[in-house]
Amino acid sequence: MSLDAAIPAHGATSVLAEPVLELRSLSAGYGGRAVVHDLELTVSPGEIVALLGANGAGKSTTLLTVAGELPPLSGEVRWLGSPIVGALHKRARAGMAFVPEERSVLKSLSVKDNLLLGSGGIEPVIELFPELGALLHRSAGLLSGGEQQMLTLARALAGKPKALVLDEISLGLAPAIVERLFTALRRSADEDGVAILLVEQQARRALRFADRWYLLRRGVIAATGDSHTDLPSLTDLYFGDAPTALEN
């Protein structure tokens, strides 16, 4: 089956608005050594953008820099048209939410208390993931991996962020759970105008829900395109570098 045949189209993209997130000539890395070089990337309101690439391409480094966990070596991260600096908690106050690869629940607290740590309360979470309603008084440590990831994502989305940055939310989860997570992301982009930047190894699944994609190869952006019209070029580039990656 061809890649484009496997991915249905969805709603139109809000690409005319000013980007919420923008990378300009961004280089970042560790110990003064760049892992990613001169990145140019934008994410607009209501848009889901997938950052793809093989292991070691620099995807997580890029997200950590966007979230303020790593300082840029050169270039800048821009937020609503202006450079943004400082740690994640400062960016969170401006409306950025970050979901890292590790599930960020407090296992000793109940589901309800985990939700109360967020800024959105409980009702929006239950609206997104009704199955969490019956688990409010259960210790988060007793949830399944999928339920913990629902809790993490729902808490982030309930706060109505302007932008959400996610690193591998599907890791180790069953396909049905992953579908629920991506459906919630698409809904939040379409209904609430959240700008979403995600890294995802399950590229085929991500592209079903994303509006645009960027392909990172050895620390540089090798190509970018529209998820509805530019899939053949992505197929050629991606398969040339990692033959199985798009089949996950």
Round the average pLDDT of the chain to a whole number and report it: 86
Compute CA 104 distance to the chain's CA centroid, rounded to the nearest angstrom.
Answer: 15
Give how many domains the chain has, as a whole number. Answer: 1
Q: Is 244 or 108 the better-scoring residue by pLDDT?
A: 108
Residue 200 belongs to a domain with what CATH number?
Answer: 3.40.50.300
Q: What is the pLDDT of residue 16?
A: 58
Instruction: Please report, for residues 109, 130, 161, 163, 193, the alpha-carbon distance to residue 95 in angstroms, rounded to integers and kept in the order given.
Output: 25, 25, 5, 7, 12
**Residue 75 DSSP SS3:** strand
Instruction: Please report, for residues 177, 202, 204, 207, 240, the alpha-carbon distance to residue 248 in angstroms, rounded to integers and kept in the order given.
Output: 15, 5, 7, 12, 16
- What pTM was computed for the model? 0.86
pLDDT digits (tens, 9 = 90+) for 152-206: 999 899 889 999 999 999 888 899 999 999 999 999 999 999 999 999 887 888 8
In whole angstroms, what is the distance from residue 226 CA to residue 123 CA? 34
Name the residue range of residue 104's domain: 4-247
- How many angstroms separate the most distant Cα atoms in the chain? 49
In whole angstroms, what is the distance from residue 125 CA to residue 170 CA? 19
- Specify whether the CB–CB gap between 28 and 227 falls below 8 A: no
